Amino acid sequence: MGGATVEQWPAVGENPWWHPIDDDLGWDEPLPPVIQLAPDYSAPLLLWGEGFGNIAWQFTKFPPELLDRLAAWQHDFDDNYHYQTGWRSAAIRDRWAHQANDLATDVRAALGTRAELVVDLWPIDEKT
């Protein structure tokens, strides 16, 4: 499968959002009105916005714990979904989809009124 191995992903607390530098704190641009939660191969985070492309963590103002969960969900996709063969197993696919529901709820709460969240789980209908 493509993507990095588990050993290559940063440990919890080692991602940059746990130790932001001054340049990371001044990102006060508004978010796009609609944010899409959708995986993509090797994306840093799985948040997308028209005119933004992949949304940098600095724009989100999300707590580090939520950013870690989003990154882990993306890593799970990278490790377990292949563009030609699909999911490693139906169980992995189903677990990943179930996690999306919890993440979407928490992302919506963190966004508040700043943006609407749309979820696109395009790999769910793909091969298993």
- pLDDT score of 5: 41
| pLDDT on residue 21 | 59
pLDDT along the chain (128 residues), means of 10: 44 59 64 94 89 87 92 93 94 95 96 95 72
Q: Say how far apart CA 128 and CA 117 lie, in whole Å.
A: 27
Q: Where are the domains of the chain?
A: 37-120
Would you state the pLDDT for residue 22? Answer: 62
What's the pLDDT at 28?
66
This prediction's pTM: 0.78
Whole-number pLDDT of residue 19: 58
CA–CA distance from 90 to each of 48, 53, 68, 123 (Å)?
A: 26, 30, 24, 12
